[in-house]
C-alpha cells in the first residue's frame, strides 16, 4: 500500500517537474526575444515558471475534481479516489468511472471540455505572467508583451504536455492490466 502511494506521488511530482522544465525553457526564450536582454530573460525565466508551476498544479487539481464530479456523486468520488489510488478498485469500475482502466488526470473527453480547460489555463497564465513580468521589469509595455505572447506559446505547449502525460498514464494502465496478478497466485 505504501509503495502504491509513493508511486502515485512520484508520478504526480514528475508530471509537475516536467511541466516546470518545459515552462522554464519557453519562458526564457520568449522573454529573450522580447527584451533582447539575456539577464532579464533569465530573471523572467527563473521566477515566472515557479509561480506558473504552482498555478498549474492548482489548475490541474481543480480540473481533475471537476471531471470527477461530473461522473460521480460525492460519496462515490471519495471512495473511488481512495480505492483507485490503492489499486483496490475493480478494473470494470475503473472503466466505468474513467472510460478506461486506471486512475488518471487525463484531458477532458469532449472538444468543448478541452477548449474550456485550455482557455482557463491561458487566462490564468496570462495573469501570472503579466504580474511577474511587471514586478521584474517595472515596464508595463514589456510586461504586457511578455504576458500576452508567452502564455500563448505556453498554452500550446501545455496542451501537448497534457496529451503526452495522458498517453503515458494510459500506457501504464494498459501495461498494469496485462501484468499477471501475483497476489492471486499466492
Q: How far apart are CA 50 and CA 39, in angstroms?
A: 17
Q: To the nearest whole percent, how much of the chain has pLDDT over 90?
A: 21
Q: How far apart are CA 129 and CA 115, in angstroms?
A: 21
Q: How many CB atoms lie within 10 A of CB 53?
A: 18
Q: How far apart are CA 70 and CA 176, in angstroms?
A: 26
Q: How far apart are CA 54 and CA 58, in angstroms?
A: 6
Q: What is the pTM of this model?
A: 0.57
pLDDT at 169: 84
Q: How many CB atoms lie within 10 A of CB 94?
A: 21
**Mean pLDDT over residues 82-111, rounded?**
58
Q: Is pLDDT of 83 > 70?
A: no
pLDDT at 180: 65
76 by DSSP, 3-state: which? helix
Q: Is pLDDT of 140 > 80?
A: yes
Cβ neighbours of residue 142 under 8 Å, at least 6 residues apart? 34, 35, 133
pLDDT at 106: 44
**Mean pLDDT over residues 13-30, rounded?**
88
pLDDT at 62: 87
pLDDT at 158: 83
How far is residue 162 from each of residues 46, 104, 165, measured CA to CA in Å?
22, 11, 5
Q: How far apart are CA 41 and CA 50, in angstroms?
A: 14
pLDDT at 134: 94
pLDDT at 107: 43
pLDDT at 77: 54
Mean pLDDT score across all residues of the chain: 79
Q: Is pLDDT of 110 > 90?
A: no
Residue 64 C-alpha cell reads as: 481533475
Amino acid at each position: 500500500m505504501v509503495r502504491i502511494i509513493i508511486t502515485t506521488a512520484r508520478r504526480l511530482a514528475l508530471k509537475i517537474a516536467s511541466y516546470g522544465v518545459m515552462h522554464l525553457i519557453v519562458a526564457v526564450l520568449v522573454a529573450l526575444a522580447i527584451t533582447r536582454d539575456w539577464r532579464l530573460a533569465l530573471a523572467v525565466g527563473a521566477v515566472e515558471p515557479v509561480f506558473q508551476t504552482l498555478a498549474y498544479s492548482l489548475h490541474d487539481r481543480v480540473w481533475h475534481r471537476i471531471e470527477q464530479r461530473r461522473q460521480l456523486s460525492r460519496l462515490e468520488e471519495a471512495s473511488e479516489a481512495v480505492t483507485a489510488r490503492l489499486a483496490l478498485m475493480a478494473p470494470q469500475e475503473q472503466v466505468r468511472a474513467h472510460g478506461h482502466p486506471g486512475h488518471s488526470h487525463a484531458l477532458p473527453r469532449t472538444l468543448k471540455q478541452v477548449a474550456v480547460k485550455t482557455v482557463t489555463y491561458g487566462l490564468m497564465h496570462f495573469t501570472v505572467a503579466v504580474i511577474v513580468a511587471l514586478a521584474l521589469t517595472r515596464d508595463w509595455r514589456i510586461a504586457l508583451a511578455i504576458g500576452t505572447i508567452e502564455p500563448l506559446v505556453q498554452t500550446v505547449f501545455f496542451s501537448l504536455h497534457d496529451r503526452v502525460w495522458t498517453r503515458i498514464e494510459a500506457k501504464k494502465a494498459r501495461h498494469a492490466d496485462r501484468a499477471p496478478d501475483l497476489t492471486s497466485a499466492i
